[in-house]
């Protein structure tokens, strides 16, 4: 037995296919890959993905997940760096570790505080209301594509603070292209292949586009330094580290791209999944419309929580262990990459009655503050945009359902496809909308 094999023997068992096959199964049929691994190996198993030096351990037991997220010393799992570094830059909050990470996080958190979110509700309402006006009537269209436009515009307004319509159109076009270019499973596979075999990096051809976007962002940063406003960029410009110094322009650019990438596609996709579930569950949809009409928010909140449970948009939130982690009879050594398999954690029969049923009522007493509900990850790396995303989803749902009735335009529920690091509805969630006459 080689040294490499004796090292990996300490890790939990897992699928034995070659890494290239495991990677393809993960990218193309993630739920069946996870379910079959759960059936064969239980709560904890090791997977091998292309481009990763070592196996990655997947967990789904809530106590193990709590222990993993509870230790702030752990680093970022290499799969995150592999997928995001080429697009985000090394100073992105998503990729920094240790003190550097915590310092930035402290600086950025106040801009995303729950109470501040109320200020952005009217922006979301305005953007959605205007977009809905141009929706096709009585013919199928992709609600995912519409939600992508909406969430991009919300970020450009609330986070970047771009008010000039001409600039917003240009930035929307360039960012849309960059995001579309970097989204496909095919490109991800090509990037992993290039990392593994040293073939040309498929992302280099995007450099011109990146430079153009950077120039536009630097202009916005300079303007906000001279003339601060209500947006999150103005707050980032004004924020100071403990020593009193500000973030420099290059870093602010990295954080803006991080907020864009982490906040735009994720929220659009979560909304698309929510509509896919709603149009297939008429009783839930009817109750939601009634509650929205009555000005109630509790049921909409529960719908959002349940949708994020059943369709977790970000499937992994990995850590690189800084100290040993005990789980399922194993002691995982420092340096091991470990991640909750969020789908598996969310569909445990011991935590959720009828775990595969879409039943928002289970969240009516508020979100579950447990490690069995982790759509936003946890611990010191938990999503800083969680309150923003939940607000945006709730406000968008209400605004849309006030103006349109919706039904599904396809027979089958959506399959999962990969876009960037997210799980996305493969068919773009086609729906048919009609104007509501109130």
Find tokens 């999503």 and name the residue: 383
The distance of closest approach from Cβ of residue 154 to ligand HEM in the complex, given in angstroms and rounded to an integer, is 9
- Residue 421 sits at the vertex; the CA angle it makes with 416 and 426, to the nearest 5 degrees, is 25
From 121-129, 194-202, 283-291, 375-383, give the range in contact with ligand HEM by CB under 6 A: 375-383
Rounded Cα distance between 381 and 20, Å, is 29
Residue 394 has what DSSP assignment? H
Residues 6+ apart with CB under 8 A from 219: none
Give the N- to C-terminal CA distance of the chain in Å, as an integer.
73
Structure tokens at 287: 């109750």
| Out of 65, 383, 400, 401, the residue judged to bind ligand HEM by CB under 6 A | 383
Cite the DSSP H helix spans in 90-140.
98-108, 114-133
Rule CB under 6 A: is residue 128 a binding residue for ligand HEM?
A: no
| Out of 29, 54, 66, 105, the residue judged to bind ligand HEM by CB under 6 A | 105
SS3 223: helix
**With respect to ligand HEM, which residue has the nearer C-beta, 128 or 432?**
128
From 189-197, 233-241, 378-386, 398-406, give the range in contact with ligand HEM by CB under 6 A: 378-386
| Out of 37, 266, 347, 420, the residue judged to bind ligand HEM by CB under 6 A | 266
Give the neighbor-by-neighbor strand order of the sheet with 45-47.
45-47, 56-59, 337-340, 319-320, 75-76
| Out of 270, 278, 289, 391, the residue judged to bind ligand HEM by CB under 6 A | 270
In sequence order, what DSSP letters do the residues of 256-282 get, joined into one string? HHHHHHHHHHHHHHHHHHHHHHHHT-H
| Out of 59, 117, 292, 317, the residue judged to bind ligand HEM by CB under 6 A | 317
The distance of closest approach from Cβ of residue 428 to ligand HEM in the complex, given in angstroms and rounded to an integer, is 17
Rule CB under 6 A: is residue 314 a binding residue for ligand HEM?
A: yes
Rule CB under 6 A: is residue 259 a binding residue for ligand HEM?
A: yes
Rule CB under 6 A: is residue 376 a binding residue for ligand HEM?
A: yes
Rounded Cα distance between 189 and 194, Å, is 9
Rule CB under 6 A: is residue 89 a binding residue for ligand HEM?
A: no
Rule CB under 6 A: is residue 156 a binding residue for ligand HEM?
A: no
The distance of closest approach from Cβ of residue 278 to ligand HEM in the complex, given in angstroms and rounded to an integer, is 16
Rounded Cα distance between 9 and 21, Å, is 20
Rule CB under 6 A: is residue 404 a binding residue for ligand HEM?
A: no
Structure tokens at 215: 């120039």
From 178-186, 209-217, 282-290, 383-391, give the range in contact with ligand HEM by CB under 6 A: 383-391
Rule CB under 6 A: is residue 23 a binding residue for ligand HEM?
A: no
Contact 363, 306 (CB under 8 A): yes
Torsion angle of alpha carbons 69, 328, 318, 363, nearest 10°? -60
**With respect to ligand HEM, which residue has the nearer C-beta, 202 or 394?**
394
Q: What is the maximum alpha-carbon separation in the chain?
A: 73
Check the CA dihedral 235-241-245-248 and report its sign. Answer: negative
In angstroms, the Cα distances linking 367 to 23, 362, 373 are: 33, 9, 8
Find tokens 């630097």 and name the residue: 218
Rule CB under 6 A: is residue 161 a binding residue for ligand HEM?
A: no
The distance of closest approach from Cβ of residue 124 to ligand HEM in the complex, given in angstroms and rounded to an integer, is 11
Rule CB under 6 A: is residue 388 a binding residue for ligand HEM?
A: yes
Rule CB under 6 A: is residue 65 a binding residue for ligand HEM?
A: no
The distance of closest approach from Cβ of residue 112 to ligand HEM in the complex, given in angstroms and rounded to an integer, is 7
The distance of closest approach from Cβ of residue 256 to ligand HEM in the complex, given in angstroms and rounded to an integer, is 10
| Out of 34, 52, 58, 94, the residue judged to bind ligand HEM by CB under 6 A | 94
Contact 104, 366 (CB under 8 A): no
| Out of 313, 332, 400, 433, the residue judged to bind ligand HEM by CB under 6 A | 313
Q: Is 94 exposed, middle or buried (0-12, 13-18, 19+ CB in 10 A)?
A: buried
**With respect to ligand HEM, which residue has the nearer C-beta, 55 or 375?**
375
Contact 341, 315 (CB under 8 A): yes
| Out of 51, 375, 428, 430, the residue judged to bind ligand HEM by CB under 6 A | 375
Q: How many residues bind ligand HEM (CB under 6 A)?
A: 25
Rule CB under 6 A: is residue 378 a binding residue for ligand HEM?
A: yes
Rule CB under 6 A: is residue 384 a binding residue for ligand HEM?
A: yes
SS3 419: strand
From 10-18, 178-186, 255-263, 328-336, give the range in contact with ligand HEM by CB under 6 A: 255-263
| Out of 262, 277, 341, 431, the residue judged to bind ligand HEM by CB under 6 A | 262
Rounded Cα distance between 190 and 20, Å, is 12
Contact 391, 119 (CB under 8 A): no
- Contact residues for ligand HEM (CB under 6 A)? 93-94, 105, 159, 258-259, 262-263, 266-267, 270, 313-314, 317, 375-378, 381-385, 388-389
């Amino acid at each position: 037995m080689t040294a490499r094999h004796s090292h990996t023997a300490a890790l939990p068992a897992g699928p034995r296919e070659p890494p290239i096959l495991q990677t393809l199964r993960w990218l193309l049929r993630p739920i069946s890959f996870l379910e079959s691994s759960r059936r064969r190996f239980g709560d904890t198993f090791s997977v091998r993905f292309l481009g990763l030096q070592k196996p990655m351990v997947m967990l789904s037991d809530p106590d193990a997940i709590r222990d993993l997220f509870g230790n702030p010393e752990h680093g970022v799992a290499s799969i995150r760096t592999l997928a995001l570094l080429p697009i985000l830059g090394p100073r992105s909050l998503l990729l920094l570790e240790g003190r550097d990470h915590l310092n930035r996080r402290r600086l950025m958190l106040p801009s995303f505080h729950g109470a501040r979110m109320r200020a952005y509700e009217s922006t979301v309402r305005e953007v959605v209301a205007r977009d809905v006006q141009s929706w096709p009537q009585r013919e199928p269209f992709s609600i995912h594509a519409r939600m992508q436009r909406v969430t991009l515009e919300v970020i450009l307004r609330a986070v970047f603070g771009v008010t000039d319509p001409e600039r917003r159109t240009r930035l929307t076009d360039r960012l849309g292209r960059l995001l579309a270019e970097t989204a496909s499973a095919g490109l991800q596979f090509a990037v992993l292949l290039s990392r593994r075999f040293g073939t040309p990096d498929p992302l280099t051809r995007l450099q011109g586009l990146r430079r153009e976007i950077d120039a536009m962002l630097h202009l916005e940063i300079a303007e906000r330094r001279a003339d601060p406003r209500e947006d999150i960029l103005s707050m980032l410009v004004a924020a100071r580290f403990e020593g009193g110094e500000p973030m420099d322009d290059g870093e602010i650019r990295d954080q803006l791209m991080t907020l864009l990438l982490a906040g735009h596609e994720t929220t659009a996709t979560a909304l698309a999944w929510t509509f896919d579930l709603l149009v297939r569950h008429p009783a839930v949809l009817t109750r939601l419309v009634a509650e929205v009409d009555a000005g109630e928010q509790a049921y909409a909140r529960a719908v959002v929580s349940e949708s994020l449970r059943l369709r977790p948009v970000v499937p992994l939130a990995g850590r690189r262990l800084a100290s040993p982690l005990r789980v399922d009879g194993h002691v995982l050594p420092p340096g091991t990459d470990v991640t909750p398999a969020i789908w598996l954690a969310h569909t445990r029969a011991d935590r959720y009655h009828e775990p595969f049923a879409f039943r928002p009522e289970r969240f009516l007493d508020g979100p579950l503050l447990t490690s069995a509900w982790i759509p936003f990850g946890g611990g010191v790396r938990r999503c800083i945009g969680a309150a923003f995303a939940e607000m945006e989803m709730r406000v968008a749902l209400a605004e849309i359902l006030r103006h349109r009735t919706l039904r599904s335009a396809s027979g089958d529920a959506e399959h999962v496809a990969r876009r960037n690091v997210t799980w996305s509805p493969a068919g773009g969630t086609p729906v048919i909308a009609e104007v509501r006459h109130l």
